[in-house]
Chain A
Amino acid sequence: MVIAPRPRADSPGPQAPVKLGVEKLSIRYGHDPVLEDVSLEVREHEIFGIIGPANAGKTSFLKAVNRMDMFDRSMHVDGRIVFNGVDVHKVRNVYGLRRRIGVVFPLPVGLPLSVYDNVALAPRLGGVKKRAELDVIVERCLRRAALWDEVKDRLNSLGSMLSGGQQQRLTIARALSQQPELLMLDEFSIAVDPVTTMRIEDVLKELREEVTIILVTNLVQQARRLADRTAFFLDGRCIEVGATEDLFTGEVRDPRTRDYVDGRFG
């Protein structure tokens, strides 16, 4: 597979609306800080990459965005996160917030419902009742998650009994079934084989038209293939944010970024 550098003429420019704004975000668990003073902006319809070594705070960042910190008593969040212009800490209906944000974590989870019900769950919660409509949504999301062919004849089988890779794609299908405005993927390729990863990457490129995407990844080349802009996280800090191509061609503000991208640590 040739990795062609992308000038990305169609990337949203600086005047594009801000989907997600983050100001001076700090997160700690108890007394252990995992993220300090992170500020960045994610523009609408862009694919925003986040790269960096393990334990750099990337997953905690995502959790803070969709307010999953509410379920962890040890997690303390300072700073401002603004989604669609609304401060997520001042939101009244946090479930509404989470419905608009789809997230895929590295741990594959197939719910103990049928495959069909797994993907139909979010639409049903959103009020879709007609079987015909649900059928359309389920098929579309499973196709996009590169899972349709493998399960189309057994949509009634239990989602929790699928293989790990299939469960991961099911998780992606579920996130897509929310028809989210913001889709956050946290190292989705870990549980998935390389060929399927490529198929999903193609899907993500198409989805840009409808969705804003945050892609947290360990595979720097994946960021290079997909992301319009990329942020480099290191030791809980956001070292820099820039056009992906710039980061990879060496036009960086911080030498550590170049080191990481070149594979010299992490």
Chain B
Amino acid sequence: MFEATLLNRRNKTTQKLFRAALGSMTGLLILPVVLIMGTLIWKGAPAISFEFLFTPPTNGMTAGGIFPALLGTVLLVLVALLASVPLGVAAAIYLSEYAPDNWFTRAINLAIINLAGVPSIVHALFGVGAFVIFFRFGTSILAASLTLAIMALPVVIVATRESLQAVPEAFREACWNMGATRWQTIRRVVLPNAVTGILTGVILEVSRTAGETAPIMFTGAAFFLPLLPQSVFDQTMAMSLHLFVVSTQVPNMPLQVPYGVALVLISMVLLMNSLSIALRMYLRGKKKW
């Protein structure tokens, strides 16, 4: 099956070549992105200033700042979290602590995977059909956030479920033997040990929802609004959509504005992800059993 060792020396060089080839493939995968990030920083940094971050756009959005978009993203993400985290944690608790091993549970898991795989524009269509039209929320922060929440639900569920399942069964049995109810066991022993995992999921969700454009395009985000939103039934601007607008919809846009917006957006997202990665590493060091 394997070549005779007479050819060993030739194999050693092919070995080294092979390793180098693979290494460079990995590098080639990362390098363009690093270059692109570098370009973004180089061309976008000049646009960043206090004024850029905290004042609204002026002059047909070719000047001024991005504050309403920043605020809008924050609002959208917060409302989406409020909707998805309790539901997602409940679902994960069900799957980890209660669900029997049968076809129904498999169906739920399949639904979660599919929910994560639905194209974002289809989520947008759903948001329009369900929240904007059927539930009559109109194009609003509420409709957009709920659409985002459903899209991000799988992230929370999966992260929470994994951290719950990491708690050894022996602890649960010890509690049950003492007469603790399932909920008491979860509340006092299982959940406290899963909190960091849940937090990781939440941070990941924040990072995803902040960057999404399609689901909010027709459900509540607008290209330009003269006023800041006053309630969840108002529309809002958002960072992701703002990037789309300033790079495609406005004539005579000075190039540094979209670069600036892109830089801020990508910094937000990467910061969140790094936080979640850091949290996971911290977790690994703090063993409790």
Asked if A and B bind, the verdict is yes
- Of the stretches B31-39, B48-56, B148-156, B178-186, the one at the interface is B178-186
Do A109 and B174 form a contact, CB below 8 Å, given A98-B179, A99-B179, A125-B180?
A: yes
Docked-complex contact B177 and A103, CB < 8 angstroms: yes
Residues of B within 8 A of A122 (CB): 178-179
Docked-complex contact A95 and B179, CB < 8 angstroms: yes
The distance in angstroms between the C-alpha atoms of A91 and B178, with both chains bound, is: 16
Closest A residue to B171 using CB positions? A111
Chain B CB within 8 A of A217 CB: no
- Name A72-108 residues within 8 Å CB distance of B: 73, 95-103, 105, 107
Residues of B within 8 A of A105 (CB): 177
Chain B CB within 8 A of A196 CB: no
- Name A159-196 residues within 8 Å CB distance of B: 160-161, 171, 174-175, 178
Question: What is the CB-to-nearest-CB distance from B169 to chain A, in angstroms, rounded to a whole number?
Answer: 9
Chain B CB within 8 A of A113 CB: yes
Docked-complex contact A174 and B174, CB < 8 angstroms: yes
Docked-complex contact A95 and B180, CB < 8 angstroms: yes
Docked-complex contact B289 and A112, CB < 8 angstroms: yes
Residues of A within 8 A of B108 (CB): none
Neighbour of B177 across the interface among A66, A96, A113, CB < 8 A: A66
- Name A50-73 residues within 8 Å CB distance of B: 66, 68, 71, 73
Q: Please, how many residues of chain B have a CB less than 8 angstroms from a CB on the other chain? A: 18
The distance in angstroms between the C-alpha atoms of A101 and B289, with both chains bound, is: 27
The distance in angstroms between the C-alpha atoms of A66 and B100, with both chains bound, is: 22
Question: What is the CB-to-nearest-CB distance from A82 to chain B, in angstroms, rounded to a whole number?
Answer: 18
- Name B170-219 residues within 8 Å CB distance of A: 170-171, 173-181, 184, 188-189, 193
The distance in angstroms between the C-alpha atoms of A62 and B155, with both chains bound, is: 42
Instruction: Tally A-B pairs: CB < 8 A.
Output: 61
Q: Quick one: which of A98, A107, A158, A178 has the most chain B CB within 10 A? A: A98
Chain A CB within 8 A of B288 CB: yes
Docked-complex contact A112 and B179, CB < 8 angstroms: no
Residues of B within 8 A of A68 (CB): 173, 176-177
Docked-complex contact B288 and A111, CB < 8 angstroms: no
The distance in angstroms between the C-alpha atoms of A109 and B289, with both chains bound, is: 10
Docked-complex contact A121 and B178, CB < 8 angstroms: yes
Docked-complex contact B288 and A158, CB < 8 angstroms: yes
Residues of B within 8 A of A71 (CB): 173, 176
11 other contacts beyond A98-B176, A125-B180, A161-B289, with CB at 8 A cut-off? A98-B177, A98-B179, A99-B178, A105-B177, A107-B170, A111-B189, A112-B193, A171-B174, A174-B174, A175-B178, A178-B178
Query: Could you list 16 examples of A-B contacts with CB < 8 Å?
Result: A66-B177, A68-B173, A73-B100, A95-B179, A109-B171, A111-B189, A112-B193, A112-B288, A112-B289, A113-B189, A125-B184, A160-B289, A171-B174, A174-B174, A178-B178, A178-B179
Residues in B lying within 8 Å of A, measured CB to CB: 100, 170-171, 173-181, 184, 188-189, 193, 288-289
Residues in A lying within 8 Å of B, measured CB to CB: 66, 68, 71, 73, 95-103, 105, 107, 109, 111-113, 121-122, 125, 158, 160-161, 171, 174-175, 178
- List the 6 closest A-B pairs by CB distance, nearest first: A99-B179, A98-B179, A160-B289, A109-B174, A112-B288, A95-B179
